[in-house]
Structure 1
């Protein structure tokens, strides 16, 4: 399959948007990737799952946010999703994207970090 260029931003409001065109906004961090259809589908799935979980954990119409153990579990799950998204972006990223990610130190280099069980 042929790879094409796409731009991914991790803005919480539009996290699930992957664009073929770079958005002209200097305040928006966009990651340039090269992906074929299957890789793009995998990334879309990760983005949608992470976005859905983030929105679910922010549900203010419940009393779940008063339970610290549930909130900690939500943060843990969201962070694990973001780690997977960033790993995929790095994997598909152009050399410039990989450099940006490395310089920002946002990849999870500690495999045990997400293995820790949230407190109960």
Structure 2
């Protein structure tokens, strides 16, 4: 069984092995290398999606198309749900408690349906 290490994760995509700056909020997780890689991959998908949404602003045929907008919002919700779900599953007891108090997962789940 591979050992796990503590990392600190921001929702912007930073995954740091050291205790972060107190001015920025991070979630503490306990992961092995495979789980860390999966989380990094999810952040890459989120950033790629956001970059594409930014490019769509300059495309009149996509920017003003509500079907495209609905599809983008659905994908945003699914990616955010997956991110918070992973952070919760990999999180320390403190992180899980914090996410439960934030009531993030039920709200994301409801918006997904």
Contact 1:57 1:74 in 2 (8 A): yes
1:54 matched to which residue of 2? 50
Contact 2:8 2:27 in 1 (8 A): yes
How many angstroms does 1:17 deviate by? Answer: 2.0
How many angstroms does 1:25 deviate by? Answer: 3.9
How many angstroms does 1:65 deviate by? Answer: 1.6
Cα RMSD after superposing both structures: 1.8
Unaligned 5+ segments in structure 2 are: none
Query: Which structure shows the bigger proportion of residues in helix conformation?
Result: 2
Question: TM-score of the superposition, structure 1-length normalised?
Answer: 0.82
1:118 matched to which residue of 2? none
Contact 1:22 1:30 in 2 (8 A): no
> Structure 1 segments of 4 or more deviating over 4 A?
109-113
Instruction: Say yes or no: does 1:17 pair with 2:18.
Output: no
What aligned pairs does 1:1-120 form with structure 2 within 5 A after superposition? 1-10=2-11, 15-26=12-23, 28-59=24-55, 60-63=57-60, 64-108=62-106, 113-115=111-113
Contact 2:81 2:108 in 1 (8 A): no
CA gap of 1:112–1:103, structure 2 versus 1, over 3 A, is closer
How many angstroms does 1:112 deviate by? Answer: 6.6
Question: TM-score of the superposition, structure 2-length normalised?
Answer: 0.86
SS in 1 for 2:19: coil
How many angstroms does 1:109 deviate by? Answer: 6.4
CA deviation string 1:61-111 (max 9, x = no partner)? 222221111111101101101101110100000011001100001114675
